[in-house]
Each structure stands twice: as C-alpha cells, then as structure tokens.
Structure 1
C-alpha cells in the first residue's frame, strides 16, 4: 500500500486491509510504503502494531509509482499486488481477485470500473476523461482491457521479477507502463475483476495537486511510455 500525507488515516486503512487479508486463509504479508517523510504518516504506521505489517519510507516524496515499485520489489510472495490507501476503493474485492487469478491462470489481475459486476460511483468529469484515456491506451498499446487505472492490481511473482528492472516512471502512468512492459514481454494473460468504488470529485490525493494538471501529466507520461516501447524499443534491452 503506497501512502502520502495520511497521518490521520493510515492506521485505519492498514487495519481494514489487514482484516480482509487475515480472512483469506493464506500466508501473507503487508507492506506499507510512505512516499516521503513529510508528516507523521510513517511514525503512525509503525506504531500501529498490525500483524504481518512492514513499513518503509525514504526522505523525499518521489511519486506513487516509485512507492509501488519500492514495496513490490521487497515482497516475497508468489502473488504480489498493490492497493491504494483510502476507503474510496473497497478492499473486499481482494478475495475474488485472487480466486480469479487461479481460475484464469492469469499473469496479472486488474481491478476495473468497467467490469459488468463492478459497483462504481464517480463524477462525470472523471468518467469522460477515463473513457477517453482508455481508448487511447488500447490504440497505443493494444492491451485488451477496459480499464487500466484502478489502484488495485495483482501480479505473479515471475512477472514482477521480469518487469521491475525495466520500469522508469515514478509518478503518473506507472500503471500503464507496468501493463505495457509485461504485455511486451509475453505476459499477456491480463484479466479484469469487479470492484466497488465511490469517488467524490476533489476528495482524492490526486486533487491536491490539481485534477486537470494531473490528467495532463498522465497523458505526457503515457506518450513517453509509447515512445520508449514502440520507437526506441527501450524495454526490449
């Protein structure tokens, strides 16, 4: 779980996630990565004393993508995933995601707002931009998914091991970089699972730096991934 400036809420997020994982009847670990020591998020997470939790941080904020890679590179399981901190996205979808991963023998499972069984509430501004962005993703990368941007994904360990050394994006569009590189390397069994999401405009961490500025940065980073993937063939090296 990557978190940033969540000193008041991080313990609640981690306890809620821990409760879901504890009910899975599997061996698991939790890793929380605090993206920069800018408040008391790290200290509060460390004090929480939640079973099987490891908490990491580093001095400066580097972006969500960096936090996700930092945590996943330290995970030891055969299935490695990440989930956003916060209660916009319900953690109750995790058991179904892991079941689907076995059923489909998936390389990657991704949460999807557009899965027919998903229960989603989010503003029209985001709906329009999300739809347009996803059309662009399918056109640029040829990945046959309906939604690549929900903050919950699971990967086989071998996928993580292969793609991690090649990834570059630290902040925006890191999700699509992970999926595009994995697909390029032959890990094409990418499936979607239903989620429950209730997102209010202006309430997420994205809004703290400006929603439309974030959208522009996302587009720029996505084009950078396309350039490295299709033109420079950087990820093939």
Structure 2
C-alpha cells in the first residue's frame, strides 16, 4: 500500500501505458465495509467484459481502516492519504497516476453498480464520445435515493442550469468515463478539491469546445453507507459552485481554450 499525501493537482495524467484500456479512480472517505465489495465487483465486471484495466483507489484521509481491506487485490493501487481534502483532491491524485486510454471514476459506497463503467466505455467507443456520464434524470434511469436527496439534487441542477446554461441535467452523479486526450486538455485548469469538481469538469470541457458529452442511464441503489451529504457539505458545494462561476466570468477556462 502506498502512503502518499495529496499534492497540488498535476498538469496532466501519467504517460499512457500500452495495453491499458481503462483506468478507474475510486475516491473514498470512510466507506466502511462497502469498499471491498465495490472494488471486487468492479474487477469482476471489467474482467468479464475483456477490458484491460487498472484501478486506483484513493483514500481521502479515511479513519475507519477501509484502505486496509483492499490488501491482496490484484490490479489495484491504493493511495492512502493522512488527511481529508475532498473528493476532487483525491480524483486529481488518481488522475496523476492513471495510464489508461480512457479514464473513469466511480463512487466507492456501492450505490452505483460498477458494471455501468464497462457499459459507458462501450457507449463511448461505439459513439466516438469524449465523455460518457451518469444521468439520474435520464428516461431509463432508476433511483433508490431518498426524497430529500432527490430534492437536493433537483435544486442543485436547477441552480447549475441557471448559472451556467449547460445542456447537462446531472453533473454530480459519481460515475463517468473520459477520453484520455480530453482529460489531459482540461485537467490543468481544474481547481476544485471537493464535490464541485464534477461541475468544474463540465464547465472546463464545454468552454474548451468539447461538446460530445453523452448522458447515459444509471441505476442508483438505496445508500447503505453513511451519507456524505450534510448541511456543511451543501453550503461548501454552493460556495464552490459560485467560485467556479466567478472563474468562468473571469475567463479562466476560456483563456485555456484559446491556448490549447
């Protein structure tokens, strides 16, 4: 197991390694017993579909010992950080070591079946899409989320639509596949360290002229692990969302698009 502190976001992913089709980054914070079954399910799904892969599991300062439950799993690199800095920070760290032609990420708590990643990779390849992302408002999606979580999600997506005008109904569901060259193009401009990371990814991509973003159905199971949605996290995400809006108005992402 590697013990590594989260560093300043790397300007790009690691060099592509021939033969690795998909890198999956799994950020986690105190997921308890849900972590290992999620990773094992991910390994099974990708192996059965014949995808060559690597898994990078990043502990964002977990204190429940969950990182040690992954001992012995092949094709899994564990980065165990001593302090909690946020989902976005963990993703940045995972991306910095990812070597696949495609790079995906998924939540660790088990409410999203890892089979979706294999399905999304197929959609991305056959359709030539730059990004395929889970959309819980898709016609064929099924959600076991509580009414409260659904209301929070709808309210936030409405706010995002009003502020950014994105043609994306769901920026936040934690399952996405990104083509390597696309992530390399936008990663240097991504600054968010917590839950607003997903939103910033879409803002940076669309500002850079990347428009082939494909929404895909997702099945969300009833969450069994403790929820990370709290009043504090909601307030912080709203604050970070407004920060992204200010960055866009200051042409932070547009300047990158012109330089790319």
Taking structure 2 as the reference length, what is the TM-score of the superposition?
A: 0.82
Q: What aligned pairs does 1:161-176 form with structure 2 within 5 A after superposition?
A: 161-176=184-199
For 1:38, which of 63, 82, 85 is the aligned residue? 63
For 1:92, which of 101, 115, 118 is the aligned residue? 115
Q: Distance in 1 between matches of 2:62 and 2:156?
A: 32
1:206 maps to: 228
For 1:8, which of 3, 16, 33 is the aligned residue? 33
Q: Distance in 1 between matches of 2:154 and 2:32?
A: 33
What does the per-residue CA deviation read over 1:148-173, in whole Å, with 9 as the maximum and x for residues that have no partner?
11000110001111121211111121
Quote the offset at 1:192 in angstroms: 0.7
2:45 maps to: 20
Q: What aligned pairs does 1:134-173 form with structure 2 within 5 A after superposition?
A: 134-173=157-196
What does the per-residue CA deviation read over 1:3-27, in whole Å, with 9 as the maximum and x for residues that have no partner?
1123533222211111111112121
**SS in structure 2 opposite 1:97?**
helix
2:236 maps to: 217
Q: Distance in 2 between matches of 1:40 and 1:214?
A: 23
Q: Is 1:233 aligned with 2:243?
A: no
1:65 maps to: 88
Structure 1 window deviating more from structure 2 (92-101 vs 107-116): it is 92-101
Q: Distance in 2 between matches of 1:39 and 1:139?
A: 39
The answer (yes or no) to whether the contact 1:88–1:199 under 8 Å persists in 2 is: yes
Quote the offset at 1:233 in angstroms: 1.5
Q: Distance in 1 between matches of 2:136 and 2:115?
A: 15
Quote the offset at 1:129 in angstroms: 2.1
Q: Distance in 1 between matches of 2:122 and 2:138?
A: 16
Gaps of 5+ in 2: 1-25
Structure 1 window deviating more from structure 2 (16-25 vs 212-221): it is 212-221
Alignment root-mean-square deviation, CA: 1.8
Taking structure 1 as the reference length, what is the TM-score of the superposition?
A: 0.90
Change (3 A) 1:15 1:195: same
**SS in structure 2 opposite 1:213?**
helix
Q: Distance in 1 between matches of 2:81 and 2:232?
A: 25
